[in-house]
Amino acid sequence: VNRARMLFAFLLLSSGLFLDLEVCTQDPYTMSKGGQLEGFCMDLLSEVAKTVGLKYKVKLVKDGAYGRQDESGNWNGMIGEVVRGEADLAIAPLTLTAAREKVVGMTKPFMQTGISILLRKDISEGAGFFHFLSPFAPETWMGILIAYMATAASIFIAARVSPCEWSEAQSERNRFSFLYSLWYAAGALTLQGVGPHPKALSGRVICSSWWLFSVVLLACYFSNLSSSKTSESSHLTVKGFEDLAGQNTIEYGCLAGSSTLAFFKNSNNPVYRRIYEHMERTQSFVSSMDEGVKQAKEGNFAFIGESVSLDLAVARHCELVRVHEVIGMRGYSIAAPLGKEPPLKMSFILIYQMLIKYKTFYNNKVTYCASLNRLG
């Protein structure tokens, strides 16, 4: 009965009055372009307005915040303006929390998300399968391959031209075919050697030069490999929150006054508590999502945020990656004053319209990298 009354009241209100709606700019939900607002939330709002005959006026939140309660119990941001009656609805990637539900009405979540870490690939990824090639640059390896082929061809030609190699004149057989020359040159690179060796002086000079080159080459290779292993042992790899909390090399932070910060602050998990205490001690908070992404791109900074937004950043910036671990699953909702929140039917409309519009908007308007980079 109560839900039916709420539905009737909301439809009556929307059919004859304007609603003041508040939004907060964040890609791809709400973006300002040419003096106009567009994005996922704007598309959703347009579809909902068509469905229920809603008339509305949109404005940006004054302080650019989502909503945080201070020590005196007052709320800022979108939640604060809804509580004070300055806005009828707040539509944004607004995280549904117990504290917010106490002061405003929240719809059923239209999207599920969680907390994850955004950072550069070189910080999150360990050694790859072809790490053994790292001592030399690609140009060096290409030069070695060319030198190997040229040496094998020189040995083959010298053995063909020199009469010393034609010991079996009757059968006209020569031991140094091109394939054998390749095998002989490869044996020098492994310091094992193969036989028989060339008899002609020209062939022996070529082989001796190649052997000397191989010794110097292998000495340089193993020296560089050893130094890279030493630096790799001191190189930090972050694959989750436990790795992040257990190091002091990489700075990390989250959005100031966000529900992400509140999650770590209210958590009893010792790992999450250490993360919060570190962020509070160093004041490594960022004022916006764009600032967090920018610092992550610059390196030596891990941005902690909501996984859906981080995936968008990864899709746009190919040098970034989101770690696989996701904690604190929660949902995005729309806020309204207590007693005036959209009822159950409205919530279902939001959910289904959002899912459809989100897929279309995300696929058509977001510039992807070659692939969505995630650390598996």
**C-alpha separations of 372 from 251, 327, 336 in Å:** 25, 20, 35
More confident residue, 41 or 290: 290
pLDDT band at residue 168 under the 50/70/90 scheme:
low
**C-alpha separations of 315 from 99, 122, 170, 322 in Å:** 32, 17, 71, 10
Nearest to 361 by CA among 38, 35, 23, 25: 38
| 356, pLDDT greater than 60 | no
Instruction: Please give the share of the chain, as a percent, with pLDDT higher than 90.
Output: 11
**C-alpha separations of 345 from 8, 91, 107, 138, 219 in Å:** 11, 17, 10, 61, 74
Q: Cβ(91)–Cβ(48) under 8 Å?
A: no
Looking at residue 336, the DSSP 8-state letter turns out to be: E
Q: Which amino acid is at 63?
A: D
Q: Which of 1-15, 41-55, 248-262 has the lowest mean pLDDT?
A: 1-15
Looking at residue 53, the DSSP 8-state letter turns out to be: T
pLDDT for 120: 86
The CA R_g of the chain, rounded to the nearest whole Å, is: 33
Nearest to 43 by CA among 53, 54, 29: 29
Q: How many CB atoms lie within 10 A of CB 100?
A: 26
Between CA 336 and CA 347, with CA 342 as vertex, the angle to 5 degrees is 120
Distance, in Å, from the CA atom of 334 to the CA atom of 238, rounded to the nearest integer, reads 34
Q: Tell me the per-residue pLDDT of 291-326, one tens digit each, with 9 for 90 and over.
A: 999 999 887 889 999 888 888 888 888 888 898 889
pLDDT band at residue 371 under the 50/70/90 scheme:
very low
Q: Tell me the per-residue pLDDT of 50-80, one tens digit each, with 9 for 90 and over.
A: 766 777 788 888 877 788 888 888 888 888 8
Distance, in Å, from the CA atom of 11 to the CA atom of 118, rounded to the nearest integer, reads 42
Q: Supply φ then ψ for residue 237, to 5 degrees.
A: -120, 125
| 146, pLDDT greater than 90 | yes
Domains of the chain in start order, with CATH, are: 2-113+331-365 (3.40.190.10), 121-128+236-322 (3.40.190.10), 131-234 (1.10.287.70)
